Amino acid sequence: MAMRRFDPRAQQRGPQIRINQRIRVPEVRVIGDDGEMLGILATHEALRRAQEKGLDLVEVNPKAEPPVCKILDYGKFKYDEKKKARETRIKTAAFDVKEVKLRPKTDDHDLDFKTRAAQAFLEAGHKVKFTVRFRGREITHPQVAQGQLERIVQKLDEFATVELRPSMEQRTMTLLMAPRPAVMQKVQQARAAAAKALRREGGKADLEQQQRDDAIAKLEQQLADQDDDDDDDDE
């Protein structure tokens, strides 16, 4: 017997909502468009009632016995579901640990840029891990890196607390900072306001959140580009 070819898209599609003629069970439990429970009806009768109102018959609980369907505007239903999903994404977006890489030879200009980037990460609710990498004889002067990190801690004191103080591991010195409670409170309030605005304004609020996410991603890319330039200088 021939084996079915694996289709990776099948795992990505998720459950399909059945509507109208795609509902093939003989009878369904029906909820009217006004929320009234209409009871168990033959599927063709439920579909007729939906069509009389210019609406759709949508299966909302396929696992019930019989399946539960609701008479509604399917286009509006899909729009509302997407908006709820975006609202949930805004409220529950994960906070990450963003890494900022340094070298003992990092000049003041680049150090200031990386500190500002770290501030943006912290103000977005992320923790920041500073990593100072030593190469060659740089390891004989750890006080240089220690001074860099102390300067960063002073500059970011308004926004963050030190969660893990500078420590050495092989040829790397690391420092971990976390947003202050007042900063996190502002982040949570901003997310709640964005979710509320999404309910009122729809796409506009979602676009503003996407722009904030893009700004963080752009900063990460700029930092990565700087790190690549540092590596090229050492070659």
Domains of the chain, start order: 14-72 (3.10.20.80), 92-234 (3.30.110.10)
C-alpha 224: how far from its chain's center? 21
Does pLDDT of 181 surpass 70?
yes
Does pLDDT of 95 surpass 70?
yes
Kindly report, residue by residue over 96-154, the tens digit of the pLDDT: 899 999 999 889 999 999 999 999 999 999 999 999 999 888 888 889 999 999 999 99
Does pLDDT of 51 surpass 50?
yes
For the CA atoms of 101, 107, 113, 117, the dihedral, rounded to the nearest 10 degrees, stands at 20
Residue with more model confidence, 124 or 200: 124
Tell me which residue of 102, 170, 94 sits closest to 125, measured CA to CA. 94
| Predicted TM-score of the model (pTM) | 0.59
